[in-house]
Amino acid sequence: MSLLVVGLSHRSAPVSVLERAALNADAQVKLLQDTVAADPATEAAVLATCNRIELYADVDKFHAGVAELSTLLAQHSGVGLEELTPYLYVHYEDRAVHHLFSVACGLDSMVVGEGQILGQIKDALARAQDLHTAGRLLNDLFQQALRVGKRAHSETGIDRAGQSLVTFGLEQLAASTDVPGWARGRTALVIGAGSMSSLAAATLARAGVGEIVVANRTFERAERLAEILADAEGATARAVRMDAVAAELTRADVVVSCTGATGLVLTADAVAEAVAGRTGEPAADAEATTGPGVAELPPTSAGTEENCPLDLASVQGTPGFSVHGEAAVAGMDAATLEQHAAWVGEGTSLLEQGREHDAGGRFTPEADAGLITALAEAAATAGRVPEYRRPEPVAGIPRPAPAVFLLDLAMPRDIDAAVHRLAGVRLVDIESLAEASADAPMASDVDQVRRIVSDEVAAFGAAQRAAHITPTVVALRTMAADVVAAEIARLDGRLPGLDDRLRGEIRQTVHRVVDKLLHAPTVRVKQLAAEPGGTGYADALRTLFDLDPETVAAVSRAVDNTDEKDRPA
């Protein structure tokens, strides 16, 4: 059996696709059950967050496993397989382990280094354990991922590179102001009472907001969160029912929403009415404003070089865009994609900026050839090079200071994207957070975390390979013990007058001889099996000693059952 992961994330798919593919709790349960019922898979776990959906499975066939897992993801997400496929990525065996360990350390998060993902991985494992879809492999994998993530945060300064999505979102709302100074004395409305909403409420309380109002479909959960905020954080907090959100919206300065709703919680009209109620003026569509003061944006020069492998004709003249290889390529990680990205700023592409100049200030052909070759290799590997455009910046259009600040952390979105266009409103959502995080500087500790991940992947692989041969070694020693017992019984029949002292001495001598003969080979075969490519030693051992496959399988089941009993709840 082999580890396989098929998924999509903010690095491979636009937010619009992630929103439509989002899985609620019931859909995740059904997906797990259907996965283990499928032929190629014996174990399954789903890691579903606001910016990733990943299905992990232990499969016996790679191609059949990829086809089955992709089909199941499409069926349960409601997005057609043909539409979903370009955004899927596949990781197999060690690359799958490396991917999950990187995710656990926050290296693949929208905000690099954030620690919330550890809780989400823990929840994914607990769900799979409750449904009995996680066997020995996935239990070992996810528990080790949690340990690797904790090690990365304790041994490095990765926390300095990132923060929670909530903190990052609030920083984007506060713009150039520090969050405590911006939040102090304001009234906050938190919609939802789950883990993300609870974290947002606690963060706002610590920042010094004047009052926190919690709204939730289950009123009792809203009351409980309000009580926790009052007791633990000393905040002024109260709970309201969802039908009171419209009224509370007119009083709130800050709104944070993160629910599991499949539709919009706040429409653009509802937000516009709330702004009008606060300011006494209608919240006009700010982006509809035009005037002679709007400056022309310079055209981009990216893609104009001769022999450039990227077809950028469709984006010529746009103020900014990025191009990157298709994310459905197995093993192509985010760093590789980012390496080949071309961001445009002020009319000059990174392709031009990165080229070396000769003594006369001219671009050197060698530098051109190297850069173009790198881009061509990325395009050839991916199969095609799709484009994703950044929103065009609005230049010279005056906007009033925000009267309401909204943070949408839900996937799919809770707040209508049209709210971005309303004057007097600042909305930060998953899509704008993704754009902001792309420009965030990487901390030096990231390299150290990557080394930790690589070391842990190697150690995990060695442990799994060694564990794979253990049942065979146990079966071999069991067979040897049976042979010794049979020979001792035969000796007793031939020499019935042998006294007990001599019989005991003979038995011990024979056991010592067998143990010494088996010791060096079994120790060495475990060492060899732990090395890369060592999985064949178990088969060789079974063949050489003609071990019964059912005996080996029985030992393996016994080991798994023992691990299950010893596993913490």
Residue 197, marked binder: yes
Helix, strand, coil share of the chain (percent; to 5) = 55, 15, 30
Residue 242 among known ligand-binding residues: no
Q: Cis link prior to 532 (omega < 30° from 0)?
A: no
Distance in angstroms (rounded) separating the CA atoms of residues 125 and 27: 16
**Is 24 known as a binding-site position?**
no
The terminus-to-terminus CA distance of the chain in angstroms comes to 25
Does 114 carry a binding-site annotation? yes
Residue 120 counted as an annotated binding residue = yes
Alpha-carbon span 419 to 256, nearest angstrom: 14
SS3 assignment, position 357: strand
Active site residue 50: yes
The helices-and-strands tally (H runs, E runs) of the chain is: 22, 14
Cα gap 365→355, rounded to integer Å: 9
How far is Cα 560 from Cα 438, in angstroms, rounded to an integer? Answer: 43
* 194 is annotated as contributing to ligand binding: yes
Is 411 annotated to bind a ligand? Reply is no
- 53: part of which helix (H) or strand (E)? strand 52-59
Q: To 5 degrees, how large is the angle CA 341–CA 342–CA 345?
A: 140
User: Has 432 been labeled as part of a binding site?
Assistant: no
Residues in the chain: 569
104 is annotated as contributing to ligand binding: no
- Binding residue per annotation — 52? yes
116 is known to lie in a ligand binding site: yes
Out of 50, 105, 258, 308, the active site residue is 50
Contacts made by residues 431-437, CB under 8 angstroms, sequence distance 24+ = 431/14, 431/15, 432/172, 433/110, 433/111, 433/165, 433/168, 433/169, 433/172, 434/10, 434/15, 434/51, 434/110, 435/390, 435/391, 436/168, 436/172, 437/110, 437/111, 437/112, 437/168
| 119 in a labelled binding site | no
Annotated binding site for NADP(+): 192-197
Annotated binding site: 49-52, 109, 114-116, 120, 192-197
Annotated binding site for substrate: 49-52, 109, 114-116, 120
**Catalytic residue IDs:** 50
